[in-house]
Structure 1
Amino acid sequence: MAPDAAEAAGGPAAPDADLREYRAEELAGKAGITVRTLRFYRERKLLPEPRREGRIAWYNDHHLARLRTIAALLDRGHTLGGIAELIAAFEAGRDVGELLGLEGETPTRWSEETPVRLTPEELADYFADDVTAENLAASLALGYVAVDGDEVVHVSRRLLDASSALVAQGVPLASVLAAAREVRVHADELAELFTRLIRTHVLPTTPDVAAVVENLRPLAKGVIDAELSMAMDRRIRTELSRTELSRTELSSLPKEPTE
């Protein structure tokens, strides 16, 4: 919570007119904890510092949301140490405008992805024990997620669903994110290839970028899907051949004599 000019000059920060404020006792009551627990969380850096007027500490709705997140994560089996690490990664997150390309956004977008807003506890529900500070930091670095106030914004519903489905199938989230970094490299190379073709052969005769994007988006998707499908067929045949070969080799081994 960034201080305003008054706080920087040594005076109390001005309250946010859009946020309700609470004294410690009221906030603790709303969160279902004791004032002692509230102070303990603050000492552990699990909460932002409150606004102060003299000796009175004023908390607001952001503090209440954080306390509810802590309670939800504790209910899901996270430790206070793990929650502190998650919060540190959460607070170091990218700005949502940067994630979604809202800063200096071009009028024409190729992507049709739908962002998803999640509370931290909803994110934990997607990935259970795989919600760690390391995985959150990796997701932030990839640009999969960003922080907007008390929420997490995932850049793509399709990627979120695919990631959670892979985790549900037994693939660790760390491995999913590592694979995503490799996919990103190849995706950038493919994007460069298509961009070069468009720049060289299409734009000189059709300078309407929006029309080009609308016409070529489904073609590019079709090419990638077809090539990936055929590549997967080749890989599956290779894996099956290896499996059959291994079985043949095992069956040809001499059996141990029986007494």
Structure 2
Amino acid sequence: MTAGVEYTIDELARAAGTTVRSLRVYHERGVLPPPQVKGRTGFYGEQHLRRVHTIGRLLERGIKLNGIRELLEALERGEDLGAVLGISEAVAPVAAEVATIAAVELAQRYQEVPNGLARVVTAGLYEPVDAATYRVADPALVAILDRLVALDIPLGEALGELERLRTDCERIARRFADLFEYVLGAQQLAAGEGDLAEFTKRLAERRVLPGQAAAELVNRYAARYFDQLAGEGDVS
């Protein structure tokens, strides 16, 4: 395992949004490589975290763990399945993965916004590499912010809306997590060894449902309000 971030199994489960029990099942089914053991503790790296995310996406597609093992083995042999399934684990050069920007340039980009640099970092759009350099932490949100500004929404107001949306989404996610924790706790106690694969699949399905529900409702109400605006604009 190359030098870098190291996780215990508990830390890996938290970082991946899954459970220690699920990780142990992945080990048993041969889809998650073993950790590097130091003393009496196993440590996992970024490649393990990427593998757990890959397993989660495949489970969401209804693929069983035995099938996942075969797919991952094919990937490791160099077969071009990643482009088809959208789950490639290939590690591209760092420069291709993230864009970096000088701190001075980033501050200038958001200088019209009070505390602009601090706010875009707090909002999760950028993160510091060192004292003089930042990198894009969330390319999707940066692109959305740019699109809002391109639609003539003032930068400060667009950023403020993303900040409020982030807070709303964290609250929604926390409520769903609390709900699932309550339900899954009872299911874990009742699950036998033969139920582990089904339990893991259902856990992966639950991870995507909050986002799907939120997106459905936001899109529905946005369409309603924009239709109302369009109707008001037609009034002479």
- Larger RCO (alpha carbons 8 Å, 6+ apart): 2
Give TM-score scaled by structure 2 length: 0.48
Find the structure with the greater CA-based Rg. Answer: 1
* Higher relative helix content: 2
Give TM-score scaled by structure 1 length: 0.44
